[in-house]
Structure 1
Amino acid sequence: MAIVGGGVVGCAMARRFALGGARVLLIEKGPDILSGASKANSAILHTGFDAPPESLELACIQAGHAEYLEIAPRLNLPLLETGALLVAWTESDLDKLDEIVAQAHANGVGDVVRLSAEDIRRREPGLAPTLLGGVSVPREYLIDPWSAPLAYVQQAMAHGTAVLRGAAVTGGAFDGRVWHIETTQGAVSARYMLNCAGLYGDRVEELMLGDASFNIRPRKGQFVVFDKAASRLLNAILLPVPSERTKGIVITRTVFGNLLVGPTAEEQEDRVHADVDTATLEMLVAAAVARIPALGTMPVTALYAGLRPATEQKYYRIRHEPARNWVTVGGIRSTGLSAALGLAQHVFNLWEGGAGLVPPAAVSWPPVPNLSDYAPRDWQADDHGEIVCHCEMVTRREIEASFQSALPPGDFGGLKRRTRACMGRCQGFYCSARLAELTGDRGIGPFGEGLTRDA
């Protein structure tokens, strides 16, 4: 099985097929996994309460939610059980709440209930007094968006999966039995091909099959991150009443102790660059302060933007070509992190549940290091040694361990996602020089490939 795309969906597919007994090759064109759409999201484990009824998206979100809860303790993945509150701030929003509750119940999420304004104020005293009512969604949780796919792919690697990074697919053909795949790292062959290329899923389809069944329309989401002190102002995930086009702007804590606001939903042609702009960021801050007034005194410590692989239609785009041993998994927008494990189950079942494969006799569960502020970290150990990043309390031992792991970081972004170095208040102002000393000979330091602090 050759899987194209090392985002969260591709990593989950690699895990599922490896655990099912397949020999798997994960092909990623970026220098590291999560180099594309998966590197920027709001890190929420969704219940599917507002997913399209009877849709594949709903089924995959709920299967993924259940499997994450099952495997998280064994892989050392964090889970912050915050619940969510969907809050109405206008009469128009208020009129939609009963319909939202009814849809949640129809989707099998029966613990979703309507709340009065007084109920919400008791739970969240920091919210503005202008709120009118809302809905409680108890099982919406917060997770680590980067450690989860890393855990998936490392478990796959423990069962024989190979990962080829820096390998863009440039061509290939199916000879009736085997796919012959050309990449920028050389040619490979595989009996089956699974296209999880995210923002380039349509182009991979057209390149390999001769036509594309959908068109990617990149949708940019900008985010604002408030200082860690702001996290005490909110307990639950704060959801807006969604529109037909977008789930809207979310305000939430993160497992890293910050407070996050976003994303926006801006369509663009560019599939690579996700720029931030002052006017939009000011809008996000103003919207957050309008809902949580005390945020007006809190500093913003980070800004970022990501692209979601939206298509011309709202639903997931699955293309199964049994005669050509091919499946495309496309159009996985804002729910990919929650649905990835469920999508992997679904696609595995397209091969009749792996009929003919022999699963491993014993399953390995390699844990990933904890990066959550809500569980013990390495710096809290008596023998933690040097602390390199003081904003995020990242130890030298954690940085060195990332390079000794089964899948070392392939670039500086990968190092940040594995350790949180340079992701705190100073955004690397103080620790980047020391990181350059520690990583310079590996060519992925904060000053660029091959550069050191002196250069």
Structure 2
Amino acid sequence: MTPSGPKNIFDVIIIGGGVVGCGIMRKLTLQGYKALLLERGGDILSGASKANSAILHTGFDAPEASLEHACMQDGYKEFISIREKLGLPLIKTAAHVVAWTREELDKLPGIVAKAHKNKVLDVKQISREELLLHEPNLSDKALGAVHVPGEFVIDPWSSPLAYLSQAVAHGAEYRFHSQVTGGFFSNGLWTLQTPSGIYKAKLVINSAGLYGDIVERICAKPPFTIHPRKGQFVVLDKKANQLVNSIILPVPSSITKGVLVCRTIFGNLIVGPTAEEQDDRDRAMVDNEVLNDLLAKGKKLVPALDRYEITATYAGLRTATEHKGYQIFPTPGKNWIGVNGIRSTGLTSSLGIANYVHTLIEDHFKTNLFAHVTPVAKEDIIWPVMPNLYEDAPRDYQQPGSGEIFCHCEMVTKREVEAVFSSLVVPQDIGGIRRRTRAMMGRCNGFNCMQRMQQITKGRIANGFHNDKEKE
């Protein structure tokens, strides 16, 4: 579909279907804007957003008085307030920042002080004995920890899907396989060129993630450069998730929060991530030597990991820049807002970033461009409920009439896969189906159900069936 004529001029076009782009779509659509999302991949989360540690952060260790800190805490608060209406799961794990050396132990009071300055007042330092009461399977080499009660584990895939689905339920539109290859601003309108057509809008919001600096050049020379930073993860068997009760964090460095151990919504245990600079913006390949080293580090923290098998590995890219803070700037003369440099905190901060972007629109563009826009009345808001992927909540196979189970590793039913094609946001690649159902993501990595998936999806995915698990 290619818009043509005034009625197909959008108020806003958002470039990039990561968690931040989806969050912005939700906010602006509920505020009454006619919005379009353009995504270069075959589904949302085709880039950096699909591979992360899935933690809802309190902002206890965020840079003080920073935009990142403000967006994290605002996003955290809003997620908590809306998650049940959208059917989004949460595990109230808490977190422990564990000291393993005397030098790290000496840093713990500073971490607590910073948390309190960041208004996370329930953070406290605990002794080695208290820590081991919480986490009896930790190595006895642990010296103490900072206890962070409000750090939780969430579903990294259903959350952005819920944001975009809610926007679509209120009239927003999306286009996949629509990489923005160029554009120009003339007579108060942006014209953007993509393989799927030419689109026009009064305002463009660039949330293109790993390609944010390249897309930003369409408007102006960006004051930043994206430097992809790879993080590799090891996923252990579901039986291993009993080994930890909370998110086990290291004392962070200036580059990364370091290697963590935590449970997942899907019932596994993960160890990771690494922090490796690379030039490639598209592919995040795993490396056996690095993964073996990562697992060895995990076993030093939780020795009993040695008894459990690795069932999967994955790698993701973070949108790091040469700056520590988020790069979110309006260009009023050209009706453009750049939303870039959103690193690993983007899952938490996405709803807060969306609120901040809306404030920028109100401050810089509302009077001239959007005086006609009226928010959706609170009583008229539609709340689409996401399919449950949480291991400890009732799954579809446990419900009456679930029918065929064709992915036995993850207990995915045919009914769940069929429901994807009648949902508000239909993916156009197999990765999207996997992220919506957990199919082909278990111990066999799709070996036993791939053929059945081919049969079910034949003719229903625009670019055909392909196994993109190396990107997951």
Amino acid at match of 1:319: F
Distance 2:344 2:187 in 1: 36
Establish whether residue 27 from structure 1 lines up as the match of residue 38 from structure 2: yes
C-alpha offsets along residues 252-309 of structure 1, whole Å, 9 cap, x if unaligned?
A: 0001100011111000111111111111100111011111111101000000101101
- Asked if the contact 1:239/1:251 (under 8 Å) is kept, the reply is yes
C-alpha offsets along residues 62-91 of structure 1, whole Å, 9 cap, x if unaligned?
A: 000000000000000001111101100111
- Asked if the contact 1:435/1:446 (under 8 Å) is kept, the reply is no
Establish whether residue 3 from structure 1 lines up as the match of residue 5 from structure 2: no
Question: Aligned residue for 2:5?
Answer: none
Establish whether residue 358 from structure 1 lines up as the match of residue 359 from structure 2: no
399-408 vs 175-184, which deviates more?
Answer: 175-184
C-alpha offsets along residues 405-447 of structure 1, whole Å, 9 cap, x if unaligned?
A: 1111210110100000001111111111111111122247995
Establish whether residue 387 from structure 1 lines up as the match of residue 398 from structure 2: no
Distance 1:104 1:443 in 2: 47
Mind listing any 5+ residue stretches in structure 1 that lack a counterpart? Answer: 450-455
Question: Aligned residue for 1:275?
Answer: 285
Distance 1:173 1:385 in 2: 52
Secondary structure of the corresponding residue to residue 351 of structure 1: helix
C-alpha offsets along residues 336-376 of structure 1, whole Å, 9 cap, x if unaligned?
A: 00000000000001122766320123111111111001211
Give the alignment partner of residue 437 of structure 1, picking from 455, 460, 465.
Answer: 455
Distance 1:220 1:280 in 2: 12
- For normalisation by structure 1, the TM-score amounts to 0.97
- Asked if the contact 2:137/2:304 (under 8 Å) is kept, the reply is yes
Give the alignment partner of residue 272 of structure 2, picking from 262, 269, 280.
Answer: 262
Question: Aligned residue for 2:9?
Answer: none
Secondary structure of the corresponding residue to residue 356 of structure 2: helix
Give the alignment partner of residue 311 of structure 1, picking from 297, 303, 321.
Answer: 321
- Asked if the contact 1:86/1:241 (under 8 Å) is kept, the reply is yes
- Asked if the contact 2:457/2:465 (under 8 Å) is kept, the reply is no
Distance 1:341 1:76 in 2: 16
Give the alignment partner of residue 123 of structure 1, picking from 120, 129, 134.
Answer: 134
C-alpha offsets along residues 108-158 of structure 1, whole Å, 9 cap, x if unaligned?
A: 000000000000001110101000000000000011000000000000001
Distance 2:294 2:463 in 1: 31
- Asked if the contact 2:428/2:463 (under 8 Å) is kept, the reply is no
Establish whether residue 238 from structure 1 lines up as the match of residue 248 from structure 2: yes
Distance 2:220 2:394 in 1: 51
Give the alignment partner of residue 179 of structure 1, picking from 155, 174, 190.
Answer: 190
Identify if the C-alpha distance between structure 1 residues 444 and 226 changes in structure 2 by more than 3 Å, giving closer, same or farther: farther
Count residues with an aligned counterpart.
448
Report the Cα offset of residue 11 of structure 1.
0.3
Report the Cα offset of residue 382 of structure 1.
2.8
% identical aligned pairs: 53
Pairing 1:131-170 to 2, within 5 Å after superposition: 131-170=142-181
Distance 1:417 1:33 in 2: 10
Report the Cα offset of residue 324 of structure 1.
1.3
Amino acid at match of 1:51: A
Distance 1:29 1:179 in 2: 18
Question: Aligned residue for 1:452?
Answer: none
Mind listing any 5+ residue stretches in structure 2 that lack a counterpart? Answer: 1-11, 468-472
Question: Aligned residue for 2:56?
Answer: 45
> Aligned Cα RMSD in Å?
1.3
Give the alignment partner of residue 209 of structure 2, picking from 174, 198, 213.
Answer: 198
C-alpha offsets along residues 17-72 of structure 1, whole Å, 9 cap, x if unaligned?
A: 00000000000011111000001000000000000000000000000000000000
